[in-house]
Structure 1
Amino acid sequence: MKSFLNSIQERVLLYDGSKGVMLQRRGLTGAEASESWNLSNPEEVKNLYNQYQVAGSDVIQTNTFPGNRVTLGKHGLGDKTYQLNFAGVKLAKEITGDSTYVAASVGPTGELLEPSGNLSFDKAYSIYTEPLKAIEDAGADLVNFETFSDLNELRAAILAAKETTKLPIIASVTFNANSRTLFGNSAEVCAIVCQSLGAVIIGANCSGGPDSLIEPIKKMYSVASIPLCVKANAGMPVLDDDGNVIYHQKPEQFSSYTKEFIENGVRLIGGCCGTTPEFIVEIKKALAELETPELKFKFNPTIASAYNHLILSPDKNYSVKRLSPEAVTLLIKGNFSTLVKESKSEDFDYLLLDFGNIDISFDVWSFASEFGLLIKKPVMIKSESPEILYKFLRYYPGKAGVVLSDNSQLSLSQLQHYGALIVNDALVPYL
């Protein structure tokens, strides 16, 4: 079988559909973690995988969402995190053999990152390494981070996969009606940041029905340099008189959006909550009638905050607000109010954050996370301290630019590892 990366470049691949809804039809209760069935009811899980393969799926997603110690711990299964994830992948591999790819599903922790909550970036990173180890050991072909609504938590997950596994990464986000996540991250920013960190596919899933994901996918494609994926719900769910969740969208209606998705960069398509093998059959029929257009990627230099992005053009001069090391020191001490007001009222395109040779000791995670939460303008940074600069890039919930001087001692590979846009100091006056 060809590698997944080769196949996705050649044609549109068909994903599978919902696991939770299908397992509920087989007796899974609301009080159970669906991942528990990987050990307690393995034949039911294998049968479900097989149904999607028979329906035509090129990629089977594992019953491991969200499958981390935090969420499993709420069901008393935290100590079985490795075993449940390993089993979820192994069962899929037993069904697919060498004919179908296996993508391990990894979802968010359900906790809020600081400063909005109590979860630190490093703790989130640590939480993700455990299921990632299991799914790689079990032989997954790739990992699919999905249904994330906080871009910085997704960044922690991507870095955990990059730094502890060799798995290709899909990064998928869920959006509100305004094409932004629950935390305000725009679709374009999500695409820019995730692809800069090394994801091989970016996309959107869950949300509402396929109609709700057309606009986010179009926005992502407008800045994309890699293929896209999409997995919508079977419409918006409703509760029936008995309190059961019902999805009313029919497979034929769901699949009618396939053409528009494919025309906007999607090369991996399937279904999320409420979709069944019948939905996959209908998408397969729709794909058979389509001629796949050539992908038109964008390779423009770009920087982004967690909320907004800036595409840099050589034909335009940009307005910059420069923050000296003295001004940065005040920010480190927590004095953000003036900059927040200026960012809202002053007309400038981006900030230049100059750490200079600041030698004060401070918590870079706390600073970068608070800066990223409060300041919505994109940022470029300078620092004579590689340690400060690398840490800021690791924790900052966007894609920063890094200004290099001619005598810089910074590691280009380290900067690229964190997805930074590298800019020569002489060019800054013109950006």
Structure 2
Amino acid sequence: MEKSLREKLGKQLLFFDGAMGTELQNRGLLAGELPELWNCTHEQEILDIHAGYLACGCNIILANTFGANCFKLKESGHSVSEIVQKGVEIAQKAAAMAGRGYVALDMGPTGKLLRPMGDLDFEDAYAAFAEMVQAGVEAGVQLIVIETMSDTYEMKAAVLAAKEQSTLPVIATMTFDEQGKLLTGGDIEAVVCLLEGLGVDALGMNCGLGPEQMLELLPRMRACASIPIVVNPNAGLPIVVNGKPAYALGAEEFAQQGEALVRAGASVIGGCCGAGREHMQKLVERCKDLQPLPIQQKNITSVSSYSHAVFFGGRPVIIGERLNPTGKPKLKQALRDEDMNYLYQEGIAQAEHGADILDVNVGLPGIDEPKLMEQAICGLQGILDLPLQIDTADIAAMERALRLYNGKPLLNSVSGKEESLSTVLPLVKKYGAAVIALTLDEAGIPKTAEGRFAIAEKIVLRAEKEGIARKNIIVAPLAMTISTGAENAKVTLETLKMVRERLGVQTSLGVSNI
């Protein structure tokens, strides 16, 4: 029996297909015409493109469903289900004729910007992608490919839809400029941090750049990624010929540069705009006997905002704790009045004073914590680019914040209590967070370092059973106020040392407590 795609990823070199849109333009697709509608009107043309790529030796073909979402199809007279079903059916026919090939649901951007940069709500974007995934699963696709994304928030909505509505492999690629930046400002490290956290099977880059430019960015991606990397470049940078866009890189040169990408760490390679059948033929011929570089597991603890990642283990990471109503009468009143501007100003002040991460706690008796937490998270990430630490014991508020957060969040916290372990850890896993682990349980805070270490070890082992890597656990050995006794400082430091040496995880101290 043929190995599954998940078994092959990273173990053998796989080939995506090449361009669809530019190939359709060469066959008469008009400017402004939806390529996906050709599934209904030009089936043979679509079939020929798929068949050509499979004949070249490509392993994965993308159904012609890139823009088959409810927003783009709204005025077309066709439903999402109809277009996806037809697109998948054509690709499956090509694969059956070839006797090989994995058929993927292809999902691109909605064409709308999400809040705060646009007017599309996160859950509306999620619903659009979920509709596509449901249609693709019903049609029998073998994997889901999310590509050409330029916004981490939209990518997160698409990945959650893919993973919540299916159990299929998910491959996610984004479009960067030559400096490694997304249209919305995110960098390579932030993208890797987010996508690995969400549990995609492979990540990478496509479109926007040619292989030469992507080769410059690949080392940065490989330096922080622990899963297979996909690289699908255009046939060079676009040029204008006789008033029309074109791509200047010939098939031989494309294949030569593609080989360099494989040797630099691409586990899956294909083509995007301008890379047609000849390009893919030459690429497969040149690279088919190559083996991808081994996937290196990075023991890197990180969190991210939409724009950048923060890494633990080097210089101390400063977590600002002023966004917490405990002992702050003005903040308490502002939260009761739903005066979020006061909270935002406090956040800005901490950023200006050098905080790397902001703790966000809106817990007060008698308030709607899920509602206020949503307002706080969405508002802060709209005005600041710092990663946020979600600080709540309210599970509803916790999940809402984790879901709407644009990046890989830090969650504060999980403890050794069974109720905490059973409710918090599944959310950490689902939303790809890092989490603060408090060394306390049903019996309270142990008075000895050995007791606190035992709780830390219990949390780490339980997290691993949930599929959460140790690098995503940050143990807090609990710094107590000096009034509780000088001996507590010694216990905390001893616990810190034991945790670092025996468990190999990062640690955090709430030194403001002292």
Task: Return closer, same or farther for 1:102/1:359 CA change in 2, 3 Å cut-off.
Answer: farther
Work out which of the residue numbers 390, 395, 409 in structure 2 matches 1:400: 409
Task: Return closer, same or farther for 1:423/1:342 CA change in 2, 3 Å cut-off.
Answer: closer
Displacement after TM superposition at 1:251 (Å): 1.5
Aligned residue identity for 2:233 = A
**Contact persistence 2:414–2:425 (CA under 8 A):** no
Which residue number in structure 2 is paired with residue 258 of structure 1?
258
Identify the range of structure 1 (38-47 vs 207-216) with the bigger mean alpha-carbon deviation: 207-216
Task: Return closer, same or farther for 1:342/1:139 CA change in 2, 3 Å cut-off.
Answer: same
Rounded to whole Å, the distance in 1 between the matches of 2:221 and 2:322 is 31
Please say if 1:349 is aligned against 2:356.
yes
Which residue number in structure 2 is paired with residue 275 of structure 1?
275
Aligned residue identity for 1:425 = L
Rounded to whole Å, the distance in 1 between the matches of 2:76 and 2:29 is 16
**Contact persistence 1:355–1:384 (CA under 8 A):** no
Structure with more relative contact order (C-alpha pairs < 8 Å, separation 6 or more): 1
Which residue number in structure 2 is paired with residue 337 of structure 1?
345
Identify the range of structure 1 (16-25 vs 365-374) with the bigger mean alpha-carbon deviation: 365-374
Displacement after TM superposition at 1:8 (Å): 1.5
Normalised to the residue count of structure 1, the TM-score between the two structures is 0.93
**Contact persistence 2:340–2:375 (CA under 8 A):** no
Identify the range of structure 1 (21-30 vs 254-263) with the bigger mean alpha-carbon deviation: 254-263
Q: What percentage of residue pairs aligned between the two structures are identical?
A: 28
Which residue number in structure 2 is paired with residue 16 of structure 1?
17
Secondary structure class of the residue paired with 2:360: strand
Larger Rg: 2
Secondary structure class of the residue paired with 1:214: helix
Secondary structure class of the residue paired with 1:225: coil
Displacement after TM superposition at 1:139 (Å): 1.2
Which residue number in structure 2 is paired with residue 37 of structure 1?
38
**Contact persistence 2:88–2:103 (CA under 8 A):** yes
Which residue number in structure 2 is paired with residue 77 of structure 1?
76
Displacement after TM superposition at 1:41 (Å): 1.1
TM superposition outliers: structure 1 runs of 4+ over 4 Å: 327-332, 363-366
Rounded to whole Å, the distance in 1 between the matches of 2:367 and 2:224 is 38
Rounded to whole Å, the distance in 2 between the matches of 1:306 and 1:229 is 21
Rounded to whole Å, the distance in 2 between the matches of 1:324 and 1:245 is 50
Q: Deviations over 1:53-81 (max 9, x none)?
A: 111111111111121111122xx226422
Q: Deviations over 1:298-349 (max 9, x none)?
A: 1322111111212222x75432211342277658633223422531x32333
Please say if 1:416 is aligned against 2:429.
yes
Task: Return closer, same or farther for 1:363/1:40 CA change in 2, 3 Å cut-off.
Answer: farther
**Contact persistence 1:175–1:216 (CA under 8 A):** no
Displacement after TM superposition at 1:394 (Å): 0.3
Displacement after TM superposition at 1:90 (Å): 1.0
Which residue number in structure 2 is paired with residue 101 of structure 1?
102
Query: Where in structure 1 are there 5+ consecutive unaligned residues?
Result: none
Displacement after TM superposition at 1:247 (Å): 1.1
Equivalenced residue count is 426
Identify the range of structure 1 (300-309 vs 85-94) with the bigger mean alpha-carbon deviation: 300-309
Identify the range of structure 1 (6-15 vs 271-280) with the bigger mean alpha-carbon deviation: 6-15
**Contact persistence 1:39–1:87 (CA under 8 A):** yes
Aligned residue identity for 1:287 = C
Q: Deviations over 1:324-378 (max 9, x none)?
A: 42277658633223422531x3233322223344642336544323322322222
CA RMSD of aligned residues (A): 2.1
Identify the range of structure 1 (349-358 vs 229-238) with the bigger mean alpha-carbon deviation: 349-358
Q: Deviations over 1:123-175 (max 9, x none)?
A: 11111122111111111111111011110111011111111122211111001
**Contact persistence 2:239–2:245 (CA under 8 A):** yes
Rounded to whole Å, the distance in 2 between the matches of 1:351 and 1:338 is 10
Rounded to whole Å, the distance in 1 between the matches of 2:288 and 2:147 is 27
Aligned residue identity for 2:160 = L
**Contact persistence 1:206–1:232 (CA under 8 A):** yes
